Structure 1
Amino acid sequence: MTLSVDQLAAVPESADRRDPMEILKTQDRTRLQGLVPVRHHRMAETPFTFYRGAAAVMASDLSLTPDSGVITQLCGDAHLSNFGMFRSPERAMVFDLNDFDETHPGPFEGDVKRLAASLMIGSQANGFDEATARGAARQGAKAYRKRMVASAGRTALDCWYARVDADEVAADLGDRFDTATSSHTQKVLQKARHRDSAQALEKLCYFDLAGAHIKSDPPLLVPANEVTVGMSKAEMNAAFIDGFARYRETLPGHVAELFSQYTFIEAARKVVGVGSVGTRCWIALFGGKHATDPLFLQFKEASESVLAPYVPGHEYGNQGHRVVFGQQLLQASSDIFLGWVQAVAFEGATDTDFYVRQLRDGKGSVVVEALSPEGMEYYAKLCGEVLAHAHARTAARHEIAEYLSGVGKAFDAAIADFSVEYSRINLNDHTRLVAAIEDGQLSSDALETAS
């Protein structure tokens, strides 16, 4: 491998970078224009929220730096807030990567850099000094390297089945940190366990004599009948039912049989996240034979990955299929209802690719903003190991391990050095976004988050 450690730490020259504001504006053009100001506002809140929404900016930047040439399936957006807890099909609580909108083949270190820079920027957002923040970034890279090198000595099946049990993480936190930290983690776990379709029904719906209906809380939660003005309810329902019938064909036979026990009730547009704001994201309520048997599915627009322009040679018939493939390859335990469909989006777009998943299935996340320096270091190690688990499930496992064995500990320092320099680039980009909003070049709108 010819990539030196010094090259691994490189960031793009300022003069070579594509204008980050233009990258964001290009993305805005294909999004729901009424929600674009919400995206700008959320990204402008802090340098960390800007980083979360600027995956396309970083993808462009990384394309200008030397890479290892070791290609694997990437998460594509492996920042520290895209790790979290959820229920496995066996109903165990696991900790893993949980966002694959940008998944795509690419140089393995792209994911490591995305994670490490997020640890640096997230630590700074929490008020840590540069040395402490750099230590968190280095810890994430070190944990990834050690776990990845160790994977070369394991069988492919061992790597495939490796996963992190969320209850074990909570117990470990209790042993390592104070009572308050342990108590907070247990509360997060307990809340996650109760996040399911029944809880979503209670939070997102109201009831009348006709049954359950999704609440209206525009513009962040808008029932379909308020979005699809000019279309009769029968026409609208027929379009959704047809779309979900075609989605059902992408499910394994036994899951399709399970899904057939549910009947479509209604759908709504729901805004989520930071980087995803303005994309076409919907939720759909289904009911079983009993009122206490709801199923909420989320179907989310899948656009071309931000990595696609820089890693040629990979074509996808449906971008939703790309997301599902990447998630099922990299994630130790995936939602059984993962599927995809191409459907009319109702809002000025046709033939939109979507991926489908359960809206809530034990999903929860660590409150990154509440982490102490010691907690951030522990979290960095955990995320680094989980990212290594994901990459070790791919055919590039031995090639990645060989490269990391060759460079050794210098890898950790190089990734940390990159993170320091990239945090400065990110800070400047965030400052530019705030200035663009203040002088009216970009719109911004603060809105309360829906339930």
Structure 2
Amino acid sequence: MVYAVSHSYQTRMQAYAEMSILETWYEQITLERVLAESTEPEVQRRVRRAMERAATRTHESLLPKLTRRDGDRLIILDAPPAVFHIQGEQTLFSPDDELLKLKNLEGARAAAFTEYLSTLALDRRRLLGHFTFQDLAFKVVGVGSVGTRCVIMLMMDRHGKPLFLQFKEASQSVIARYRGKRKNGHEGQRVVEGQRLMQAASDPFLGWAKGPLGRHFYARQLRDMKLSAQIELMDADLLARYGALCGWVLARAHAKASGLAAEISEYFGRSDRMSDALIAYATRYADQVEHDYDRFAAACRSGQLEARTDEDMAADFRI
């Protein structure tokens, strides 16, 4: 699978090296192109199924699952430990957390939202002007963002159609350890500008703001026709094909953002040396993960760490 990723990146970058910079910027990788390039019936079936599922993952489909009506407004449902109101009865924040000490959470929310609007293009600001604020709740993030804060905001237009925005905390880039901190830089702005550079079609509501306690956030839509690959359901062949698609997407992102497709392609060359190096690294990484998990499991068995299941956690809350 690692070879599939690396080899795909290498061959796609060679193609981008022959394209003009405008051609690279206009290049889009669509599910239709993926369908056209595959002759395998199973791959085509899965891609078509993914297209169908994506079409159903809209704000309207999310509304009845996440909200309830309270008079003239909609309220986001508490579903601890995943979703809860910051200053609500089922909050997971400790009593001494600074967020719980805020006397005017709504004022802080409004100020941060105003700052966020200033980072959007005029047409996006006008569009959001047709929506009114309904509710705000804390959302536990995934593994890749563990330890950071995230809130979701529900807004409605005059026709009762919803818009869910997600504000995710942006921490300092790992690269900053080696290149130094950005002077007067906003980490949310760094994330947004990076996404706009690399992606063919970024979320129209990408923006950034500071939270009431000085944390940096970036904003985007919550789950609007977005999908995650279910790699745990893939066999080895399909996983390799998915890896090749990832290599293609990464090559396009690097070629567009850097404008240096020819230089990157020359660095990779036409041999398998880079692929062999990445395979060796991936193997060592897998060994390290197994070693780390063994230590984690031993710490849980010895009582050094407390291990609890999702069911255990959910039992602590009234849902």
Instruction: Choose the corresponding residue for 2:246, options 383, 387, 391.
Output: 383
Partner of 1:176: 40
Q: Which amino acid aligns with 1:375?
A: L
Q: What's the CA shift for 1:138?
A: 0.8
Q: What's the CA shift for 1:395?
A: 3.1
Instruction: Choose the corresponding residue for 2:151, options 262, 265, 282.
Output: 282
| Identical counterparts, % of pairs | 36
Partner of 1:143: 8
Instruction: Provide the C-alpha distance between the structure 1 equivalents of 2:176 and 2:214, rounded to a whole number of angstroms.
Output: 20
Q: Which amino acid aligns with 1:221?
A: V
Instruction: Choose the corresponding residue for 1:328, options 179, 191, 196.
Output: 196
**What TM-score do you get using the length of structure 2 for normalisation?**
0.87
Q: What's the CA shift for 1:306?
A: 2.6
Does the residue aligned with 1:275 lie in a helix, a strand or coil?
A: helix
Q: What's the CA shift for 1:281?
A: 0.5
Instruction: Provide the C-alpha distance between the structure 1 equivalents of 2:44 and 2:19, rounded to a whole number of angstroms.
Output: 32
Partner of 2:261: 397
- With over 3 angstroms needed to count, the CA separation of the structure-2 counterparts of 1:177 and 1:314, relative to structure 1, is farther
Q: Is the 8 A contact 2:141 2:149 kept in 1?
A: no
Does the residue aligned with 1:164 lie in a helix, a strand or coil?
A: coil
Aligned residues: 304
- With over 3 angstroms needed to count, the CA separation of the structure-2 counterparts of 1:328 and 1:444, relative to structure 1, is farther
Instruction: Provide the C-alpha distance between the structure 1 equivalents of 2:276 and 2:127, rounded to a whole number of angstroms.
Output: 49
Partner of 2:30: 165
Q: Is the 8 A contact 2:112 2:211 kept in 1?
A: yes
Partner of 2:137: 268
- Post-superposition Cα deviations, 1:57-109, rounded to whole Å, max 9, x if no partner, equal xxxxxxxxxxxxxxxxxxxxxxxxxxxxxxxxxxxxxxxxxxxxxxxxxxxxx
Instruction: Provide the C-alpha distance between the structure 2 equivalents of 1:272 and 1:417, rounded to a whole number of angstroms.
Output: 31
Instruction: Provide the C-alpha distance between the structure 1 equivalents of 2:18 and 2:184, rounded to a whole number of angstroms.
Output: 33
- With over 3 angstroms needed to count, the CA separation of the structure-2 counterparts of 1:315 and 1:177, relative to structure 1, is farther
Instruction: Provide the C-alpha distance between the structure 2 equivalents of 1:254 and 1:376, rounded to a whole number of angstroms.
Output: 40
Q: Which amino acid aligns with 1:330?
A: M
Instruction: Provide the C-alpha distance between the structure 1 equivalents of 2:80 and 2:289, rounded to a whole number of angstroms.
Output: 32
Instruction: Choose the corresponding residue for 1:429, options 292, 304, 307.
Output: 292
Instruction: Provide the C-alpha distance between the structure 2 equivalents of 1:356 and 1:185, rounded to a whole number of angstroms.
Output: 28
Partner of 2:166: 298
Q: What's the CA shift for 1:167?
A: 3.3
Does the residue aligned with 2:10 lie in a helix, a strand or coil?
A: helix
Q: Which amino acid aligns with 1:356?
A: A
Give ranges in structure 2 of 5+ residues lacking alignment: 92-98, 315-319
- Post-superposition Cα deviations, 1:122-160, rounded to whole Å, max 9, x if no partner, equal xxxxxxxxxxxxxx1111101101111221111001111
Q: Is the 8 A contact 1:224 1:266 kept in 2?
A: no
- Post-superposition Cα deviations, 1:335-358, rounded to whole Å, max 9, x if no partner, equal 0100000112xxxxx111000000
Question: Is the counterpart of residue 309 in structure 1 residue 177 in structure 2?
Answer: yes
Instruction: Provide the C-alpha distance between the structure 1 equivalents of 2:174 and 2:166, rounded to a whole number of angstroms.
Output: 22
Instruction: Choose the corresponding residue for 1:209, options 44, 47, 71.
Output: 71
Q: What's the CA shift for 1:182?
A: 4.2
Instruction: Provide the C-alpha distance between the structure 2 equivalents of 1:436 and 1:209, rounded to a whole number of angstroms.
Output: 50
Does the residue aligned with 2:143 lie in a helix, a strand or coil?
A: coil
Does the residue aligned with 2:145 lie in a helix, a strand or coil?
A: coil
Q: Is the 8 A contact 2:132 2:155 kept in 1?
A: yes
Q: Which amino acid aligns with 1:280?
A: R
Q: What's the CA shift for 1:289?
A: 1.0
Q: Is the 8 A contact 1:241 1:264 kept in 2?
A: no
Does the residue aligned with 2:216 lie in a helix, a strand or coil?
A: strand
Q: Is the 8 A contact 1:297 1:357 kept in 2?
A: yes
Instruction: Provide the C-alpha distance between the structure 2 equivalents of 1:433 and 1:324, rounded to a whole number of angstroms.
Output: 35
Give ranges in structure 1 of 5+ residues lacking alignment: 1-135, 345-349
Instruction: Provide the C-alpha distance between the structure 1 equivalents of 2:181 and 2:107, rounded to a whole number of angstroms.
Output: 38
Does the residue aligned with 2:133 lie in a helix, a strand or coil?
A: strand
- With over 3 angstroms needed to count, the CA separation of the structure-2 counterparts of 1:229 and 1:418, relative to structure 1, is closer
Question: Is the counterpart of residue 366 in structure 1 residue 229 in structure 2?
Answer: yes
- Post-superposition Cα deviations, 1:349-402, rounded to whole Å, max 9, x if no partner, equal x11100000012100122100111110111111111110000001133332122
Q: Is the 8 A contact 2:31 2:47 kept in 1?
A: no
Instruction: Provide the C-alpha distance between the structure 2 equivalents of 1:325 and 1:254, rounded to a whole number of angstroms.
Output: 18
Does the residue aligned with 2:2 lie in a helix, a strand or coil?
A: helix
Q: Is the 8 A contact 2:17 2:265 kept in 1?
A: yes
Does the residue aligned with 1:340 lie in a helix, a strand or coil?
A: strand
Instruction: Provide the C-alpha distance between the structure 1 equivalents of 2:40 and 2:241, rounded to a whole number of angstroms.
Output: 9
Deviates more, 1:236-245 or 1:161-170: 161-170
Instruction: Provide the C-alpha distance between the structure 2 equivalents of 1:436 and 1:388, rounded to a whole number of angstroms.
Output: 41
Q: Which amino acid aligns with 1:416?
A: I
Instruction: Provide the C-alpha distance between the structure 2 equivalents of 1:441 and 1:311, rounded to a whole number of angstroms.
Output: 37
Does the residue aligned with 1:361 lie in a helix, a strand or coil?
A: coil
Instruction: Choose the corresponding residue for 2:109, options 214, 234, 240.
Output: 240
Q: What's the CA shift for 1:224?
A: 3.6
Partner of 2:95: none
Q: Which amino acid aligns with 2:80?
A: P
